Amino acid sequence: MQAEQDKVVYFHYSVSDLDGTEIENSRRGEPMAFLFGHGNIIPGLEQALRGHVAGDQVQAVLEPEQAYGVRREDATQRVPKKYFAEAAKLKPGMTTVLRTDHGTRSVMVVKIGSSVVDVDLNHPLAGKTLSFDVEITDVREATPEEISHGHVHGGGQHRH
Ligand code: ZN
């Protein structure tokens, strides 16, 4: 079965920057799973996997526009400390998770005040050209429920 619209694709991947420094590697855990065609993974990687089947190895070098976007210089925002899980542990330069109405997102701490924190909303990998090394481990039909929700159920990816 080919990776395409409304299929669930399981894969292992590693991603490096252009210096060859490994940034992430899924092979220490379970394969990742995503529902094809619903914006669940970065667009360039989804397009690179299109049409591939279980067992295929796929290499893709993605410019920032096809990965996590270009860095925006005006993406700093002042956020009340209560939105951070562990505000007391924050330090400038570290990446932390911010809770929002739309879920969580990674931000970089720029500056810490007494009641607010200035954060950089750029994705930590924004502005980087990334080299992906992917192995597709399985492709299956999505359930109607998964398609209506727009994401994969089970496999440790998502809980209701
Ligand atoms: Zn769901």
Q: Calculate how far, in angstroms, residue 107's C-alpha sits from the geometric centre of ligand 1.
A: 25
- Give percent of the chain with pLDDT exceeding 90: 75
pLDDT value at residue 110: 93
The end-to-end CA distance of the chain, in Å, is: 28
Q: Is the pLDDT of residue 118 over 90?
A: yes
pLDDT value at residue 97: 85
Q: Calculate how far, in angstroms, residue 101's C-alpha sits from the geometric centre of ligand 1.
A: 17
Q: Calculate how far, in angstroms, residue 88's C-alpha sits from the geometric centre of ligand 1.
A: 33
Q: Calculate how far, in angstroms, residue 72's C-alpha sits from the geometric centre of ligand 1.
A: 31
Q: Calculate how far, in angstroms, residue 143's C-alpha sits from the geometric centre of ligand 1.
A: 11
Q: Which two tokens stand for residue 70?
A: 């270009």
Q: Note the pTM of the prediction, 2 decimals.
A: 0.76
DSSP secondary structure of 113-136: -SSEEEEE-S-TTTT--EEEEEEE
Q: Is the pLDDT of residue 157 over 60?
A: no
Query: Which of the four pLDDT bands, split at 50, 70 and 90, describes residue 159?
Result: low
**DSSP state for residue 51 in the 8-state scheme:** T
Q: Calculate how far, in angstroms, residue 36's C-alpha sits from the geometric centre of ligand 1.
A: 15
Q: Calculate how far, in angstroms, residue 151's C-alpha sits from the geometric centre of ligand 1.
A: 6
Distance CA 27, CA 29 (A): 5
Q: Is the pLDDT of residue 141 over 60?
A: yes
Mean pLDDT over all residues of the chain?
A: 92
Average pLDDT over residues 70-89: 89
Q: Is the pLDDT of residue 158 over 70?
A: no
Distance CA 81, CA 79 (A): 6
Q: Calculate how far, in angstroms, residue 148's C-alpha sits from the geometric centre of ligand 1.
A: 8
Alpha helix stretches (DSSP H) within the chain: 43-49, 144-149
* Range in 11-15, 21-25, 104-108 with the lowest mean pLDDT: 104-108
Neighbours of ion ligand 1 (CB under 5 A): 149
Query: Which of the four pLDDT bands, split at 50, 70 and 90, describes residue 85?
Result: confident
Note whether 142 and 63 are within 8 A (CB).
no
